[in-house]
Amino acid sequence: MGGAIEVHRVLGPGLLESAYEECLCHELKLRGLSFERQRPLPIGYKGISLECGYRLDLLVESAVVVEIKAVSAIEPIHEAQLLTYLRIGGWKVGLLVNFNVPILKNGIRRRVL
């Protein structure tokens, strides 16, 4: 969360998600955290694994799913997306981070399964 706050402090709102993702990855590197970017998330269906094109924005320290947004408001579908990723991948903690807000703490949602 601290890395996201730093990125928002420097850049502010108004950029594309891809810009925030790139800068957040740089910030995580500076902080010595391990992460996977655009990690594929296959869907298990009737005993087989199907590659349906889903990708996590970030998986930090193999434990926290981070879904990055740059939208006017977080909608229920965004929260459902994060919870679905947690359930499918077997992770417990996720952060939904909307960078398109004046104060980032108002754009962060933490979800735990």
What's the distance, CA 26 to chain centroid? 15
> Using 50, 70 and 90 to split pLDDT, how confident is the model at 82?
very high
Q: Indicate the helix (H) or strand (E) that contains 50.
A: strand 48-50
| pLDDT, mean of residues 53-70 | 96
Least confident of 6-15, 44-53, 71-80: 44-53
Contact by Cβ (8 Å): 93, 67: no
Predicted TM-score (pTM) of the model is 0.91
Helix axes 2-11, 17-30, angle to 10 degrees: 130
Report the C-alpha gap between 93 and 66 in whole angstroms.
9
Residue 53's CB is within 10 A of a number of other CB atoms, namely 9
